[in-house]
A and B are shown apart, each in its own frame.
Chain A
Amino acid sequence: MATGPDPAKTARGNLPPLSLHVPEPNFRPGDPVDYSFLDIPPPGLLPRPDETCPATETTPLCSGMVRVLGNDHRAVGPWDPKLDPETLRRMLRAMALTRAFDDRMYRGQRQGKTSFYMKCTGEEATSVASTFALAADDMVFPSYRQQGILIARGYPLTEMINQIYSNKADKLKGRQLPIMYSCREHNFFTISGNLATQYPQAVGWAMASAIKGDSRIATAWVGEGSSAEGDFHAAMTFAAVYNAPVVLNVVNNQWAISSFSGFAGAERSTFANRAVGYGIAGIRVDGNDALAVYAATRWAANRARANGGPTLIEHFTYRAEGHSTSDDPSAYRSAHEREEWPLGDPIMRLKRHLIELGEWSLEQQEAMDAELVDLVKAATKEAEKNGILGHGLHHPFHTMFEDVYKELPWHLEEQAEQAIRERQTKWPEWKPE
Chain B
Amino acid sequence: MLDDIPEEEYLYKGNTACAGCTAMLALRYILKAAGPNSMIVNPACCSTVCQGPYPKSAYGVPVLNIAFAAAAATADGIASAERNKGKNIIVFAGDGGTVDIGIQALSGAIERNANILYVCYDNEAYSNTGMQKSGSTPKGAITTTTPTGRKDSKKDIDFIVMAHRPVYMATASSAYPKDIYKKVQKALSIEGTKFIHIHCPCPSGWRYPTERSIELGKMAVKTGMWFLYEYEDGKIKLNPPTVAALKKPAPIDDYIKSQGRFKGANIDAIRSEVEEGIARIKEMV
A and B interact: no
